[in-house]
A and B are shown apart, each in its own frame.
Chain A
Amino acid sequence: MNRAVDALRKRWKRPVPGETGQLIRELRTALTKDRVKYDAAQRTLLSHDASIYAGGDAGPVCYPTSTNEVASIMQIAERHGRSVVPRGAGTGLTGGAVPMDEPVVIALNKMNRILEIDAENRIAWVEAGVVNLDLTKELRPLGLHFAPDPSSQQVCTIGGNVANNAGGPHCLAYGVTGAHVLAIEVVLPGGDVVTLGGLEPEPPGYDLRGAFVGSEGTLGIATRVAVALTPNPPETKTLLLAFAEPANAAATVSSIIASGIVPAALEVMDQRITVAVENFVNAGYPTDAGAILLTEVDGLQPNVDVDVEQIIHLGNKHGSTSIRVAEDETERKALWKGRKAALGAIAQIMPDYYLHDTVVPRSKLATVLEQIYDIAERHELLVMNFFHAGDGNLHPVLAFDAREPGVMERVHAAGAEIVQVSIEAGGVLSGEHGIGVEKQKFMKLLFTDDDLDHQNRLRISFDPSCRANPGKVMPIGHSCADIASLRAIPKGVWG
């Protein structure tokens, strides 16, 4: 593959100011003047996402309203040798939408129409910029919903969900975004418009749809998505179990799964975050508990009843200090409000936070949690834990004040150790936030050079000249990463 890298290096051009003027003119002709922006305010706004990575470098920012416009942008960018970075709501947490080397930014927010809802066959076609929760709200009267429910669902886009294969509390039973995506209309880097996947159960040929999901904008731009719709469950019960120690909560989680129950959600919060949340929103959480387990079972009432009884039994067996079953919808909503407000609650304690995301086997949850508390203590950082325990998806939050000299180094060092212990426990780098620029350097902990070489082969099959969101996902040493590494990660990216 080295020859390919060399060839690509030659092709890669740094933007020249005069050329940018011409690029903008062409983009404005293809779209309209007001939808191609190049002012400092816009470029700064779109130079970062919700991650701690600041200091990206946006080129012209385009707001297309149709697939054809996206295709034109791709063709123009190609002619100018510019890379492109797709962007939804910018809620990504790994720097996936952070532009590097002044690429053309394609912001899909104006492609936000729900195109078709086929309630009979439980399929909806939406544009990529549709906000996750907007679709579910639209579906409510039909008794259906879009199952992936990331905590950012009030703002994040379905295109962003597809690109990051987003999860959420309810993905334990229902599966992450990929399981709910049937077909994707994609504009490829050269400007070709293709439909990957299909509405039939076994579309012919390679599953390029599956390869595209989670590709973080590096294989092309998703413009429309056909999603599968899930019927709302007839019955839902939410339980709150309190424990003296996180280890008891983790053990309960393992035995619930081992007993054959797959709850809709299984969320654990440690004492620090529980206290913070309780002060913030009064969810009714017991602040004296070492950890709480929020779990939800749904489906047919008799199944739900059996599961609730069994969960109570297992909670007691593992030393639960109190168990509450939400009596009504108001109580249920209050319990969930606490979980969903967890990140907001941290702001009361420290001005900045770094939300991590690794996965470990469920049986290792308690051990890895202990290690995480240890790591934070050694680096003199405050750590709080709330996580999707059912699928072993940890979200340690390191809270800090970025104004404190030297704190960022400690945050990054602690983060690297958290990744390391998760991998050593038999886990993976990310459960839902993806790799972006945050975890590229850790890819070699999980994959061999041969493994990564094959991932790169997939990448260049879609995008032979590495122009779609280059410098993301693949670590240095693989062609599409090397292209961007000609110029190092922009200054200040490390916060």
Chain B
Amino acid sequence: MIRHTDIDVQIQEFAAAIGDREPIAIEGNRTRWSLGGDLQPDVRTLTAPSGIAEYTPAEMTVQVGCGTLVSELHDELAKAGQRTALPERGGTVGGAVVVGQNHMCLLGRGRLRDSVLNVRYVSAEGQIVSCGGPTVKNVSGFDLPRLMVGSLGTLGNLADVILRTNPIPTHSRWLVSDDVDPFAIQKTIYRPSSILWDGTFTWVLLEGSEQAVNEEHDKLSAIAAFEPSTEMPVLPEHRWSVHPNDLRFPGQFGESFVASIGVGTVWGANAQPKRNIEPGVERVASRLKNNFDPTGRLNPGRVPGRI
């Protein structure tokens, strides 16, 4: 991938194209396009700046344009033995951030919302706004980057982000078993990177040094028969987000499901019923939307939290 050093120029152009009036939506790769509701008709769409602006592996941070594909970013980071918490599902970096869904291996990668250090966005009034900071640790002022994660682009048009990167473990191994209690895994081994359960099979991802992976594999073998897995489960269509304890009652997820144990993400045949947002929280959220987007021009039709 080409390394862009002209991200600031791209952002200026992006802001000019967005302007300060009329409805606007930013298009990633349309992999989660209808999330939060359908875009109102006849809304102008734009793509965000793309390319890596700055990457120093020893800082464990990368500055990247929001229009960059996550897979392209990860290819580049892998050359220095690093990765991010963003899920790689064909989408763009900006798309992943505003959708806010975690990587399937959240236990190993960390939460997406914690990995976004800095965000530059073009506001509804056409200003370029920067929030957060370039360093891995920062408590300078209000934490707007957290607010942008999962905002579906309704508070600002994301231009570029600085993400925290993490080392890729030297070894990783998926194991599968059909006779283990999936809820016993976290009690048996220290920090699995993922535990997936489809009601019959349980997949476990081990990551670390080769010897550590072997030792964890041995511990698992002591409680059930595990084999290296070559095939991963097919994920049903609908994504659920539930209290991790609710995974013990999988009937609600439909005929087929894959549950992320210890996390609470489920891919189910049924759609998750609408989750209520408390009225007091709604009031803050609507003031927030009004204050950030007084004319309602940002991604009209979409509401975070709406399925």
Write out, one digit per residue, whether chain B residues 275-307 have a CB within 8 A of any chain A CB (1) or not (0). 101101111110110011000000000001100
- Say yes or no for B31: interface residue by CB 8 A criterion: no
A205 near B147 with CB under 8 A, answer no
A211 near B146 with CB under 8 A, answer yes
Which of chain B's residues have a CB closer than 8 A to the CB of A450?
A: 123, 127-129
Contact of A458 among B128, B135, B139, B288 (CB under 8 A): B288
Q: Which residue of A lies closest to B112 (CB)?
A: A202
Contact of B110 among A175, A214, A431, A446 (CB under 8 A): A175
Within 8 A of B (CB), among A5-42: none
C-alpha spacing A457/B265, complex, angstroms:
32
- The stretch from B5-13, B44-52, B54-62 touching chain A is B54-62
B140 near A458 with CB under 8 A, answer no
Write out, one digit per residue, whether chain A residues 183-205 have a CB within 8 A of any chain B CB (1) or not (0). 00000100011111001111111
C-alpha spacing A125/B282, complex, angstroms:
23
B58 near A203 with CB under 8 A, answer no
Q: Which residue of B lies closest to A258 (CB)?
A: B58
Within the complex, the shortest CB–CB distance from A258 to chain B, in Å, comes to: 4
Write out, one digit per residue, whether chain B residues 115-155 have a CB within 8 A of any chain A CB (1) or not (0). 00000000100011111011111111111101101110001
| Residue total for A at the interface (Cβ-Cβ under 8 A) | 88
C-alpha spacing A459/B284, complex, angstroms:
10
CB within 8 Å: A-B pair count: 249
Contact of B136 among A188, A203, A391, A430 (CB under 8 A): A391
Within the complex, the shortest CB–CB distance from A53 to chain B, in Å, comes to: 18
Contact of B244 among A121, A179, A203, A462 (CB under 8 A): A121
C-alpha spacing A361/B56, complex, angstroms:
10
A428 near B133 with CB under 8 A, answer yes
A260 near B81 with CB under 8 A, answer yes
B113 near A430 with CB under 8 A, answer no
- Say yes or no for B227: interface residue by CB 8 A criterion: no
A429 near B60 with CB under 8 A, answer no
Within the complex, the shortest CB–CB distance from A64 to chain B, in Å, comes to: 19
**Contact of A443 with B58 at beta-carbon distance under 8 Å, contacts A195-B281, A200-B241, A359-B135 already known:** no
C-alpha spacing A164/B147, complex, angstroms:
17
Which of chain B's residues have a CB closer than 8 A to the CB of A462?
A: 284, 287
Which of chain A's residues have a CB closer than 8 A to the CB of B262?
A: 121-122
C-alpha spacing A258/B208, complex, angstroms:
17
C-alpha spacing A200/B130, complex, angstroms:
29
Within the complex, the shortest CB–CB distance from B301 to chain A, in Å, comes to: 16
B280 near A204 with CB under 8 A, answer no
B141 near A206 with CB under 8 A, answer no
Contact of B142 among A233, A255, A455 (CB under 8 A): A455
Contact of B102 among A195, A201, A429, A431 (CB under 8 A): A201
Within 8 A of B (CB), among A36-78: none
- Say yes or no for A343: interface residue by CB 8 A criterion: no
- The stretch from A299-307, A333-341, A375-383 touching chain B is A299-307
Which of chain B's residues have a CB closer than 8 A to the CB of A435?
A: 139-141
Contact of A196 among B208, B281, B292 (CB under 8 A): B281
Which of chain B's residues have a CB closer than 8 A to the CB of A195?
A: 278, 281
- Say yes or no for B211: interface residue by CB 8 A criterion: yes
C-alpha spacing A207/B97, complex, angstroms:
12
Within the complex, the shortest CB–CB distance from A420 to chain B, in Å, comes to: 14
- Say yes or no for B245: interface residue by CB 8 A criterion: yes
B140 near A231 with CB under 8 A, answer no
- Say yes or no for A323: interface residue by CB 8 A criterion: no
Contact of B135 among A175, A300, A427 (CB under 8 A): A427
Contact of B130 among A203, A439, A451 (CB under 8 A): A451
- Say yes or no for A326: interface residue by CB 8 A criterion: no
**Contact of A454 with B281 at beta-carbon distance under 8 Å, contacts A214-B143, A434-B139 already known:** no
Which of chain B's residues have a CB closer than 8 A to the CB of A90?
A: none
Within the complex, the shortest CB–CB distance from B170 to chain A, in Å, comes to: 8
Q: Which residue of B lies closest to A450 (CB)?
A: B127
**Contact of A299 with B190 at beta-carbon distance under 8 Å, contacts A167-B137, A201-B265, A359-B133 already known:** yes
**Contact of A303 with B111 at beta-carbon distance under 8 Å, contacts A207-B150, A430-B140 already known:** no
Q: Which residue of B lies closest to A448 (CB)?
A: B130
Within the complex, the shortest CB–CB distance from B275 to chain A, in Å, comes to: 5
C-alpha spacing A121/B183, complex, angstroms:
10
- Say yes or no for B37: interface residue by CB 8 A criterion: no
Which of chain A's residues have a CB closer than 8 A to the CB of B212?
A: 299-303
- Say yes or no for A295: interface residue by CB 8 A criterion: no
- Say yes or no for B79: interface residue by CB 8 A criterion: no
C-alpha spacing A255/B57, complex, angstroms:
10
Within the complex, the shortest CB–CB distance from B134 to chain A, in Å, comes to: 6
B264 near A200 with CB under 8 A, answer yes
**Contact of A188 with B280 at beta-carbon distance under 8 Å, contacts A207-B149, A302-B211, A454-B144 already known:** yes
Which of chain B's residues have a CB closer than 8 A to the CB of A175?
A: 110, 114
Within the complex, the shortest CB–CB distance from B74 to chain A, in Å, comes to: 16
- Say yes or no for B167: interface residue by CB 8 A criterion: yes
Which of chain B's residues have a CB closer than 8 A to the CB of A385?
A: none
**Contact of A165 with B141 at beta-carbon distance under 8 Å, contacts A196-B281, A206-B150 already known:** no
Within 8 A of A (CB), among B171-205: 183, 190-191
**Contact of A211 with B147 at beta-carbon distance under 8 Å, contacts A455-B141, A455-B142 already known:** yes
C-alpha spacing A434/B265, complex, angstroms:
33
C-alpha spacing A455/B191, complex, angstroms:
37
Report which B residues bind A (CB closer than 8 A): 56-60, 81-82, 100-102, 106, 110-111, 113-114, 123, 127-131, 133-144, 146-147, 149-151, 155-156, 166-168, 170, 183, 190-191, 208-209, 211-212, 214-216, 241-245, 260, 262-265, 275, 277-278, 280-285, 287-288, 291-292, 304-305
* 9 A-B residue pairings within 8 Å (CB atoms): A195-B278, A204-B305, A205-B277, A206-B285, A207-B147, A208-B288, A260-B168, A454-B156, A473-B141
Report which A residues bind B (CB closer than 8 A): 118, 120-122, 164-165, 167, 171, 175-176, 178-179, 188, 192-196, 199-211, 213-215, 231, 233-234, 254-255, 257-258, 260-262, 299-303, 306, 359-363, 388, 391-393, 426-435, 439, 443, 446-448, 450-452, 454-455, 457-462, 464, 473-474
Known: A302-B209, A461-B288. 13 other contacts (CB 8 A): A200-B243, A206-B305, A231-B190, A233-B190, A257-B58, A262-B167, A391-B137, A428-B134, A431-B137, A433-B139, A454-B144, A458-B147, A458-B288
Instruction: Give me the 9 closest cross-chain CB pairs, A-B, nearest first.
Output: A210-B146, A204-B305, A302-B211, A260-B167, A205-B305, A258-B58, A428-B133, A194-B280, A429-B140
